[in-house]
């Protein structure tokens, strides 16, 4: 018995995948307990069912459901990668599959992957624990995972694949697999395709052989190209034209999109949503309630202010900044700010990079103040979970 115990301590306990699984289970329990575990916006369940019936469109779509309507067909405008997680369950349970619960599971798994990636990056145990806790419970990833509606599940899926890409690029670093995972993240949330500068750096990190670097970059680029091409093919299959999908929705005719889907004139409203969108005040306890318009990034996760102290002489951090900056271009110029939401959900498209930047800003070290800030972030997000209208 004691031999088995020491074997467990020596071989199993230090195993990063075992640790990741334990963390994922813990996060899963927290997400599960704090979630409503249901969503009426289960587009991906319906899409999975359609795909299992050789269709790319939904039938008998309720009026309140946001889809692109062409005749009696309803097309899901969000990219299709999240279906990967749902399709097997729909094959078993059909339309009764609970998208919200799958969102919770995938969200928790993404946190496990983050743990592995941070370990592979060589961060200290305390730093890894703090940053994992920050992402899991101190960002709106908690609320987004626990909500699990079509828009939120797309984020969860994108974060999962980004974390998986981070694990691969900090581990075996096979460019085709990194490209595939980033591509799947992009096929969950289109702006995430633009995180590629970060991965272009990481797949060649520490290499001097120019030919090898070019070869690896070409593999990464072509994999991403194929994934992008697949998306265009998918939308061609849907609408018969090459399209992003979003421009087919009725909402683009609304006031928010008066200057089209993207315009630089939308930047101030995004800046307002990122920096200044505060909670609403209430006369009753707990006096502040999250606005369904969102909550500023630094109101939701004040620890991210450490990003401004990141060490840009570190090329990995510079690459994270580059990937984030490029990804932010379509986000900042998009007409909508993410209503309805807790926090600023579009920020999740660059979540792993924000964590790299914040950890760098903290010098990868913790003190009482930093721990207090992270605890504050967790409290704010717990408040969001409990009070979101």
Partner 1 sequence: MNQAITALKQKMISDRRWAHFAIPLLIVGIVFAIYYLSNSTPNDWYKHYVYQAQAFLDGRADLQGVPGYYQDLVNYNGKYFLASPPVPALVLLPAVAIWGTGTDEVRICMLMAAINVALIWILLGRMNVKGWKRSLLTILFGFGTVHWQVAITGTTWFFAEIVAVFFLLLCLIEYFGRKRAALIGLLLGLAALSRLPVVVGGIFFLAMLYKNGGIRSPLKFIIGLALPLAFYGYFNYARFGNPFQTGYEFHSYSSYFAADIDKYGMFSLNYIPKHLYTLLLMPPQYLSDFPFFKPSPEGMSILLTTPAVLYAVKARLSESANRWLLLSIAGILLPTILWFSTGWVQFGYRYSLDFMPFLMMLIVAGMGSRISKKMIVLIVMSVAVNLWGALWSVHLGW
Backbone φ, ψ for residue 74 (5° rounding):
-120, 125
Question: Under the criterion CB under 8 A, does residue 387 sit at the interface with partner 1?
Answer: no
* Alpha-carbon span 57 to 204, nearest angstrom: 41
Tokens of 79: 């990219």
- Stretch near partner 1 under the rule CB under 8 A, chosen from 37-45, 96-104, 197-205, 276-284: 276-284
Closest approach of partner 1 to the CB of residue 177, in Å: 41
Near partner 1 by CB under 8 A: residue from 62, 71, 240, 287: 287
Question: Under the criterion CB under 8 A, does residue 269 sit at the interface with partner 1?
Answer: yes
Question: Under the criterion CB under 8 A, does residue 289 sit at the interface with partner 1?
Answer: no
Question: By the 8 A CB rule, do 385 and 140 touch?
Answer: no
* Alpha-carbon span 97 to 102, nearest angstrom: 9
Residue 308 three-state SS: helix
> How many Cβ atoms sit within 10 Å of the Cβ of residue 368?
7
Is the Cβ of residue 213 or residue 336 nearer to partner 1 in the bound state? 336
Q: Which residue has the tokens 């806790």?
A: 133
Near partner 1 by CB under 8 A: residue from 88, 122, 229, 278: 278
Near partner 1 by CB under 8 A: residue from 299, 334, 342, 388: 299
* Alpha-carbon span 40 to 7, nearest angstrom: 47
Question: Under the criterion CB under 8 A, does residue 14 sit at the interface with partner 1?
Answer: no
* Alpha-carbon span 43 to 258, nearest angstrom: 26
Is the Cβ of residue 104 or residue 373 nearer to partner 1 in the bound state? 373
Residue 227 three-state SS: helix
* Alpha-carbon span 289 to 383, nearest angstrom: 8
Tokens of 117: 């990636």
Closest approach of partner 1 to the CB of residue 168, in Å: 37
Closest approach of partner 1 to the CB of residue 272, in Å: 4
* Alpha-carbon span 57 to 70, nearest angstrom: 9
Near partner 1 by CB under 8 A: residue from 17, 89, 234, 288: 288
Is the Cβ of residue 129 or residue 376 nearer to partner 1 in the bound state? 376
Site map 301..340 versus partner 1, x via CB under 8 A: ----------------------------------------
Is the Cβ of residue 276 or residue 339 nearer to partner 1 in the bound state? 276
Near partner 1 by CB under 8 A: residue from 126, 276, 314, 365: 276
> Which residues have C-beta within 8 Å of that of residue 15, sequence separation ≥ 6?
none
- Nearest CA among 12, 41, 5, 119 for reference residue 341: 41
Question: Under the criterion CB under 8 A, does residue 122 sit at the interface with partner 1?
Answer: no
Question: Under the criterion CB under 8 A, does residue 268 sit at the interface with partner 1?
Answer: yes
Near partner 1 by CB under 8 A: residue from 275, 312, 372, 386: 275
- Nearest CA among 220, 213, 225, 214 for reference residue 199: 220
Q: Tell me the pairing of strands 68-70 and 73-75.
A: antiparallel
Closest approach of partner 1 to the CB of residue 139, in Å: 18
Give the interface size with partner 1 as a residue count (CB under 8 A). 15
- Stretch near partner 1 under the rule CB under 8 A, chosen from 118-126, 142-150, 188-196, 278-286: 278-286
Site map 227..266 versus partner 1, x via CB under 8 A: ----------------------------------------
Question: Under the criterion CB under 8 A, does residue 383 sit at the interface with partner 1?
Answer: no
Tokens of 4: 């088995």
Instruction: Render the burial of 232-251: b for 16+ CB within 10 Å, e for the rest.
Output: eebbeebbeeebebbebbee
Question: Under the criterion CB under 8 A, does residue 379 sit at the interface with partner 1?
Answer: no
Question: Under the criterion CB under 8 A, does residue 279 sit at the interface with partner 1?
Answer: yes
Compute the residue count for the chain: 389
Question: Under the criterion CB under 8 A, does residue 283 sit at the interface with partner 1?
Answer: yes
* Alpha-carbon span 220 to 181, nearest angstrom: 10
Question: Under the criterion CB under 8 A, does residue 272 sit at the interface with partner 1?
Answer: yes
Closest approach of partner 1 to the CB of residue 315, in Å: 22
- Residue 74, beta-bridge partner list: 58, 69
Is the Cβ of residue 212 or residue 259 nearer to partner 1 in the bound state? 259
Return residues touching partner 1 (CB under 8 A).
268-269, 271-272, 275-279, 281, 283, 287-288, 296, 299
């Amino acid at each position: 018995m004691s031999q088995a115990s020491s074997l467990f301590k020596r071989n199993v306990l230090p195993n990063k995948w075992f640790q990741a699984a334990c963390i994922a289970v813990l996060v899963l329990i927290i997400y599960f307990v704090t979630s409503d575990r249901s969503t009426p916006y289960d587009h991906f369940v319906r899409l999975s069912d359609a795909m299992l019936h050789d269709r790319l469109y939904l039938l008998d779509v309720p009026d309140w459901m946001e889809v692109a309507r062409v005749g009696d067909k309803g097309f899901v405008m969000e990219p299709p990668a999240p279906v990967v997680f749902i399709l097997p369950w729909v094959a078993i349970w059909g339309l009764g599959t609970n998208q919200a619960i799958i969102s919770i599971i995938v969200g928790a798994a993404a946190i496990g992957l983050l743990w592995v990636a941070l370990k592979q990056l060589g961060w200290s145990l305390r730093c890894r624990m703090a940053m994992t806790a920050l992402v899991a419970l101190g960002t709106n990833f908690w609320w987004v995972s626990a909500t699990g509606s079509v828009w939120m599940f797309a984020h969860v899926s994108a974060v999962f694949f980004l974390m998986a890409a981070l694990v691969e690029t900090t581990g075996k670093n096979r460019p085709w697999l990194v490209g595939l995972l980033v591509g799947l993240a992009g096929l969950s949330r289109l702006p995430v395709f633009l995180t590629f500068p970060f991965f272009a750096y990481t797949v060649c990190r520490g290499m001097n052989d120019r030919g090898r670097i070019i070869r690896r970059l070409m593999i990464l680029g072509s994999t991403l190209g194929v994934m992008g091409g697949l998306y265009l093919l998918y939308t061609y299959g849907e609408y018969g034209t090459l399209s992003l999908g979003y421009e087919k929705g009725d909402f683009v005719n609304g006031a928010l999109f008066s200057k089209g889907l993207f315009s630089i004139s939308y930047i101030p409203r995004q800046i307002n949503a990122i920096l200044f969108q505060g909670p609403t005040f209430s006369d009753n306890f707990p006096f502040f309630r999250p606005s369904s318009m969102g909550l500023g990034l630094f109101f939701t996760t004040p620890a991210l202010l450490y990003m401004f102290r990141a060490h840009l002489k570190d090329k990995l951090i510079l690459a994270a900044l580059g990937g984030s900056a490029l990804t932010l271009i379509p986000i900042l110029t998009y007409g909508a700010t993410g209503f309805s939401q807790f926090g600023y959900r579009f920020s999740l498209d660059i979540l792993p990079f924000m964590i790299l930047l914040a950890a760098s800003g903290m010098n990868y070290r913790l003190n009482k103040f930093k721990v207090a800030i992270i605890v504050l972030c967790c409290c704010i997000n717990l408040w969001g979970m409990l009070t979101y209208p």
